[in-house]
Amino acid sequence: MDMVTAVTSLGRNGLADWLIQRVTGVILLAYFLFIAWAIAGGVDYPSWKALFEQTWVKVFSLMALLSLAAHAWIGLWAVLTDYLTERLMGSTGNFLRITSQLVIALGIFIYVVLGVQILWGY
Amino acid sequence: MDGTNAALQQRPPLIAPVALVTVVPDVKDNRPVNLDIGSMRLPITAWASITHRASGVFLFAAMAFLIWALDMSLRSPESFAALQDILTSPVARLILLVIMAALIYHSLAGVRHLVMDFGIGESLEGGTFSARLVIVLSIVLTLLAGLWIW
Ligand code: HEM
Ligand code: HEM
């Protein structure tokens, strides 16, 4: 792994990334099942709003949001470092990969900021 | 023993004359292409893996839709009603169903990863079986979700 690749890996090594990917995946799955279960009974605005006013739901939602951030970063890192590489396309590969990672980082940042604002703003 | 020998003698010579008259490939056109995916028959486990990757990339983009929907649902009673209204349109329902299909597939395939990480089902047969199981279960759950949405 060259330096630019290593330095953009979230846990700085494959084993840490592997573990984070799995833990965050399970948290996301639990959260989506919770949301599906909450919607399944049918919701109106007052009950939906009351659900998200509870502290544990806010904390659970924030956990899912941060898990999404880490999970997506590691997952997309794995994809980009497979296809947009110096080996496959020379220095263009490095340029495209770093550019993509900047766009992804910006996207994740926007998701987290929006999510926090939704959870604590209304 | 004699029979075997006779069979061996009937075998065509190793360099069959016919080989000399078969097509001599045009080198320029027929050079092998590195990883020409279109010409390869991939085993089901490879399809399961590629689909897990594709669904993960898709889900990252799809989260924008879900976060937007969460925003609409919590902002005010009016926006909640507006979201409900939007979700009655077939296009919006189709988008939601595609996202749920990706989420269901990616989750089941993710759980398959976890199970295999614990050393269960790592054999070729086990991997083929669980890949099939994940695909079938995803289709069933997605159909159920589709029934629910409509
Ligand atoms: C909803 C948000 C999600 C997004 C955006 C997402 C995205 C991704 C991406 C891009 C990858 C990389 C795929 C690859 O390297 O081939 C990945 C891998 C993975 N995902 Fe997700 N995922 C999400 C939810 C989940 C859930 C709910 C689970 C449930 C268990 C999960 C489990 C996994 C696992 C275990 C891997 C690692 C696979 C490997 O090591 O090759 N993910 N995810
Ligand atoms: C963030 C995640 C999810 C969202 C926003 C979501 C949203 C929805 C919505 C809006 C409906 C239709 C509700 C209605 O029109 O009454 C629905 C139905 C359904 N969803 Fe999801 N869903 C999510 C995750 C999941 C997951 C992870 C699964 C399965 C593992 C799932 C399985 C289903 C099923 C089976 C139905 C139909 C249920 C029934 O017939 O009672 N959903 N979902």
Q: Which domains does chain B possess?
A: 38-149 (1.20.1300.10)
Query: Hey, whose CA ends up nearest to atom 32 of ligand 2?
Result: B145
pTM for the predicted model, two decimal places: 0.84
Tell me whether residue B124 is exposed, middle or buried, using C-beta atoms within 10 angstroms of its C-beta: 0 to 12, 13 to 18, 19 or more.
exposed
**Inside any domain, residue A66:** yes
Query: CB contacts < 8 Å between A and B, how many?
Result: 50
Q: Which is the closest atom of ligand 2 to the Cα of B103? A: 27
What is the best residue among A26, A28, A32 to mutate for testing ligand 2's pocket, by most ligand atoms within 8 Å of CB? A32
Across the interface, whether the CB atoms of B80 and A45 are under 8 A apart is answered: yes
**Inside any domain, residue A100:** yes
Query: Hey, whose CA ends up nearest to atom 1 of ligand 1?
Result: B59
pLDDT tens figures, A80-98: 999 999 988 999 999 999 9
Across the interface, whether the CB atoms of B67 and A22 are under 8 A apart is answered: no
Across the interface, whether the CB atoms of A29 and B107 are under 8 A apart is answered: yes
Secondary structure, 3-state, chain A = CCHHHHHCCCCCCHHHHHHHHHHHHHHHHHHHHHHHHHHHCCCCHHHHHHHHHCHHHHHHHHHHHHHHHHHHHHHHHHHHHHHCCHHHHCHHHHHHHHHHHHHHHHHHHHHHHHHHHHHHHC
Domain count, chain A: 1
**Inside any domain, residue A7:** no
Question: How does the average pLDDT of chain A come out, rounded?
Answer: 93
Which ligand is closest to the CA of B69, given by its number? Answer: 2
**Interchain CB contact of B70 with A (< 8 Å):** yes
**Inside any domain, residue A67:** yes
Where residue A66 sits, what CATH number does that domain have? 1.20.1300.10
Query: Hey, whose CA ends up nearest to atom 33 of ligand 2?
Result: B145
Banded pLDDT at B2 (limits 50, 70, 90): very low
Predicted pLDDT at B33: 55
Model ipTM?
Answer: 0.93
Compute the average pLDDT of residues B71-84.
97
Instruction: Note the residue count of chain B.
Output: 150
Residue for token digits 């759980």?
Answer: B111
**Interchain CB contact of B71 with A (< 8 Å):** yes
Amino acid found at A45: Y
> Using the 8-state DSSP alphabet, how is residue B37 labeled?
G
- Report which secondary-structure segment, H or E, holds B5: helix B2-10
What lies within 8 Å, CB to CB, of B69 at 6+ separation is: B83
pLDDT tens figures, B79-135: 999 999 999 999 999 999 999 999 999 999 999 999 999 999 889 988 999 999 999
Query: DSSP secondary structure string, B113-128?
Result: HHHHHTTSS-SHHHHH
Residue for token digits 């940042």?
Answer: A109
**Interchain CB contact of B113 with A (< 8 Å):** yes
